[in-house]
Chains A and B, each alone.
Chain A
Amino acid sequence: MAFAADRGVRLAAPVALVLVAGCVVPLAVLFVYSFFKVDFVAIVHDPTVKNYVRVAASATYRGLIGRAILSGAIVAVISAVIAYPVAWAIAKRVYLLKSAYLTLLLIPLYTGDLVRIFAWRVVLGSEGVINSFLMWTGIVHEPIRALLFSPFATHVVLTYDYLPFMVMGLWLAFESLDDRLLEAARDLGAGEVTIFRRIVLPLTAPGLIAGAMMVFVLVVGDYLTPQLIGGSSGITVISAINDLFGTAFDWPLGSAIASSLLIILGLLVTLAALVVARSTWGRSVVSGE
């Protein structure tokens, strides 16, 4: 056993090295920078927590971080609602060409951010597909400008962008869900809502959690979509960080915001994991079938 464990460590070592070099080290550098300050155009290597105080004191930065987290949560919930039936259908009702459906689902991801975003501008724009159609039918006489360059548009596109991650997570969970359990529940007198709440939801929870985690983190970190679709609402915490690093040349403050966001996300994920681990179904989910 000791030998096997030893070998495992040695096999894992290169991966650990890459992770440390490629991920932990830059983050550590970023974190260290957040304690420095800027004197005109020079970074003063003089430790201070002033940057964090500025972030905490600023309603703008607090608001941006809060909005990013709220957006992540909203998009995660919306994509879960859409993805459940889709994932169920692919797992349980598609027998032929299952991989074709899954590939179709992923095609938007192959096209790249900008292509997708501009495609949506064509759909949502004031001379776009939806507005033209509405004008043609006479439902509206002037194009609805709020369709594009609004938080609504941003969330539509974000949901579209990251939905496949949720579908994938749930699809895997549905693939391992035994249909006979649903039959058994029905046999015992459960209605469809009860079956979803008491059987399907707990047993697909690992997929839901994995999918939600992916969507949440990706939405919080998305930069292009709000910038190009959100219009004046497109300022996000990420664009703020970008501005601080670029135009404003305030690396320490940018680092402090980035670190704050990272810490808050870390805390939220830990909290979610704890809640899951404390609940009865969470324990059974984690302990396996």
Chain B
Amino acid sequence: MNVGRADTDGPRAVVLLEALGLAKSYGPVAAVQGVDFRLPVNAYVTLLGPSGCGKTSILRMIGGFETPSAGSLRLDGADLAGVGPAERPVNTVFQSYALFPHMTVADNVAFGLEVKGRDRNETKIRTARALALVRMTDMADRRPNQLSGGQQQRVALARAIVNEPRLLLLDEPLSALDRRMRKDMQIELKDLQRRLGLTFVHVTHDQEEAFALSDHLIVMNAGRIEQQGTPEEIYRRPATTFVADFIGGANLFPGQILATSDGAATIATAFGPVTAASVSGLSVGSTAALCLRPELLTPQPDGPILSTVRHVVFQGADWLVEVEAAERTVTLRLESERGPEPGERLAIGFDAASAWITAGTIATEAGHGVRG
């Protein structure tokens, strides 16, 4: 289900990497089932999806560590088939950092230049520059086991960017760091990408991280691309119920499409027909879902959704309220002085202008997770 493909980037974006029908199977298991995408130059791209969705396989195919079962990858227009990882102008920051334990920080960073036979002086200067870029100059003579996780992360970054690759791959680079360090590193990564003008491809399962970093976001599920575009597009106009649920945990109300018009549709929900903006390609009679973000729902005396309050969580800036309505669990974010009481009856309304109708059925009880 490839809705909102890379062409949303507009024609001005110069294509750096192009995947066509890229697939990877491990025996009978299809990890990646034929995906297409185009990555522009100088962009922060995130591959987002739950674990096992194939995002890491894609990264490893770009890096040259796995051979695609089908399809092709083109970097700067040249096919990468048969080009080994050592020959690709692509470098990777590994999830575990994979720093060489028997070398100092400086030797780790210089490794790529040394094996390519750069002269000593150049290697020294570029190593020093890369270390300065990640603020690790003072640690040049330390060994990896003498560094904290965040510092190891920086060394891994320096070791990759010192080679001036066309593309930098990051495999869940922040997953081993604590929350605070993760936030700091997110800002640093984004800043580094802008300063270097490189394209970063970052694999993560954390949608908050993906939003914080990405210019271009690719959401994956079960080996396929569900949607790609800017974070705003994906948040506001999710193409599928999976994306709507995975990104920010939207409340989804299933129903049949009653009518469609240009960019909008009418859906029959459990609380009556609603007309709202919709994904294209919906046909009358098909099953779809009304997508209402928690922050768009408000208590209104004449609101159409009749509910019973189940849980109320104070979150500082707002209240996270879980209610039961139309036999589903619905989440609201309320910015009021006082939160409602559990057991209270609540009529909920919404502005149809901010609602969205997305394609697909709801397999599990979507909208249940109190996320983000």
Contact = CB atoms under 8 A, between A and B. Distances in A.
Q: By CB atoms of chain A within 10 A, which of B90, B100, B102, B103 has the most?
A: B102
Contacts of A186: 65, 84-86
Interface string A164-199: 000000000000001011011111111100100011
Nearest to B169: A187
Given A188-B91, A188-B111, A202-B102, A180 B116 contact: no
A15 B112 CA distance: 49
Nearest to B162: A188
Nearest to B91: A187
A285 interface: yes
A223 interface: no
A181 B100 CA distance: 6
Contacts of B112: 188-189
A184 B92 contact: yes
Given A187-B63, A194-B115, A289-B145, A180 B163 contact: no
18 contacts: A178-B96, A180-B94, A180-B96, A181-B98, A183-B65, A183-B94, A185-B115, A187-B85, A187-B91, A188-B115, A188-B160, A194-B115, A198-B111, A199-B100, A280-B102, A284-B101, A284-B143, A288-B145
A185 B102 contact: no
A31 interface: no
Interface in B143-160: 143, 145, 159-160
A283 to B, nearest CB: 9
B101 A203 contact: yes
Interface of B: 63-65, 84-87, 90-92, 94, 96, 98-103, 111-112, 115-116, 143, 145, 159-160, 163
A191 B86 contact: yes
Nearest to A205: B102
Interface in A133-191: 178, 180-181, 183-191
A184 B163 contact: no
A178 B85 contact: no
A281 interface: yes
Nearest to A188: B112
A285 B102 contact: yes
B85 A284 contact: no
Contacts of B111: 185, 188, 190, 198
A289 B101 contact: yes
Given A184-B92, A187-B63, A191-B86, A178 B115 contact: no
Contacts of B100: 181, 184-185, 199
Given A186-B84, A186-B85, A188-B111, 5 more contacts: A183-B65, A187-B86, A190-B86, A203-B102, A287-B145
A220 to B, nearest CB: 30
Interface string A33-58: 00000000000000000000000000
A287 B103 CA distance: 12
Contacts of B145: 287-289
Contacts of B96: 178, 180
A178 B99 CA distance: 10
Nearest to A199: B100
A188 B102 contact: no
A203 B103 CA distance: 10
A189 B162 CA distance: 12
Interface residues of A, number: 24
A157 B112 CA distance: 43
Contacts of A187: 63-65, 85-86, 90-92, 160
Given A184-B92, A187-B92, A281 B102 contact: yes
A189 B86 contact: yes
Contacts of B102: 202-203, 280-281, 284-285
A188 B98 contact: no
Nearest to A195: B115
Given A202-B102, A203-B102, A189 B94 contact: no
Given A184-B92, A184-B94, A288-B145, A189 B101 contact: no
Contact of A190 (B63, B65, B90, B115): B115
Contacts of A198: 111, 115
- A-B complex: 5 closest residue pairs judged by Cβ atoms: A188-B112, A284-B102, A184-B98, A180-B98, A190-B115
Contacts of B64: 187
B90 to A, nearest CB: 8
Contacts of B86: 186-191
Q: By CB atoms of chain A within 10 A, which of B64, B65, B115, B116 has the most?
A: B115
A199 B100 CA distance: 8
Contacts of B103: 284
Nearest to A289: B101
Nearest to B117: A189
Contacts of A288: 145
B57 to A, nearest CB: 14
A175 to B, nearest CB: 15
Interface in A187-231: 187-191, 194, 198-199, 202-203
A203 B102 CA distance: 7
A190 B98 CA distance: 15
Contacts of A284: 101-103, 143
A183 B171 CA distance: 13
Nearest to B145: A289
A188 B159 contact: yes
B27 to A, nearest CB: 14
A287 B104 CA distance: 13
Contacts of B116: 189
Contact of B115 (A183, A191, A281, A287): A191
Interface in A251-286: 280-281, 284-285
A185 B159 CA distance: 10
Given A183-B65, A284-B143, A288-B145, A189 B163 contact: yes
